[in-house]
Structure 1
Amino acid sequence: MAKKIDIVDGRSALDAVRAADAAGAKPARTDLATAVRYLLQLLDEKAPGNSVEVRVPPFGAVQVIQGPRHTRGTPPNVVEMDAATWIAVSTGAEAWADAASSGRIQASGTRADLAGVLPLRP
């Protein structure tokens, strides 16, 4: 992660995204981006490592989980999802297995199941 997000800013952005969702509105892009990056940062702190790349385009990506490190090209363990799915699974609003079985999470590799480290409970 490039720039560390302050806890207050991250939680405020996450609250704003949740409020917009509850009102049936589209969250502000800046709030969505900050919330996604904040949750990726929390994942990185909870499960440091370099064996799994978690991608939430276009907002961010982080390498996590202890294990073999990749150095070039596409890593062998990749998890990718949209921002709404990432926020849902990382906060516990939706179970990892449910989002994965619905096809909203694309995961490849033997270490690409994040059920053991999610939810983050920010």
Structure 2
Amino acid sequence: MAARSKADPTKTRAAVAAVAAWLRDETAAAAPARAELADAVRLTARTLAALAPGASVEVRVPPFVAVQCIAGPRHTRGTPPNVVETDPRTWLRLATGLVQVDEAVAEGGLSLSGPRAGEIAQWLPVVSGSTDTPEPSGSPG
């Protein structure tokens, strides 16, 4: 099996820029192609895993990616005790800072389960600034 690619800041910025108009207003812009959406989701999730290494929280963005992040007790079998799950558009809005964790939960687009799942908020956004020309944030939020 081929190794999964690591998040590259240049590729991540380009992938997010390709879907930026749709992230800002899904009614004004056409939905991105599945491949474009998948790239943006995977690269931003892998950026999160690189910025917050660990395995105590699992972030799931079906159908594209699941990553483990945040230092702490490692989970190896069965259902993880700390899970963050969301749809691709909500994830990208979180990853770019267009929506905050508490807003996404209130809107019903983000599910947090487990006592440490909410810690994800301190690591977002993973791409900061304008979604026209995003830059990786590099530090917890």
Instruction: Give me the TM-score of the superposition, normalised by structure 1.
Output: 0.92
TM-aligned CA distance change 1:105 to 1:26, over 3 Å: same
Q: CA deviation at 1:63?
A: 0.2
Task: Report matched runs for 1:40-59 at 5 Å.
Answer: 40-59=45-64
Question: Number of aligned pairs?
Answer: 122
Distance in 2 separating the partners of 1:110 and 1:5? 27
Structure 1: 5+ residue runs without aligned partners? none
User: Is 1:75 aligned to 2:80, yes or no?
Assistant: yes
- The answer for the alignment partner of 1:19 in structure 2 is 21
Are the aligned partners of 1:53 and 1:75 in contact in 2 as well (CA < 8 Å)? Answer: yes
Distance in 2 separating the partners of 1:103 and 1:66? 27
Distance in 1 separating the partners of 2:112 and 2:22? 28
Q: CA deviation at 1:44?
A: 0.8
SS for the counterpart of 1:79 is strand
CA shift digits 1:42-94 (9 cap, x unpaired): 10111100000000001101000111111111100000000000000111011
Instruction: Give me the TM-score of the superposition, normalised by structure 2.
Output: 0.80
Distance in 1 separating the partners of 2:39 and 2:69? 19
Runs of 4+ in 1 over 3 A off after TM superposition: 19-23
Q: CA RMSD in A?
A: 1.6
Relative to structure 2, which stretch is displaced further, 12-21 or 97-106?
A: 12-21
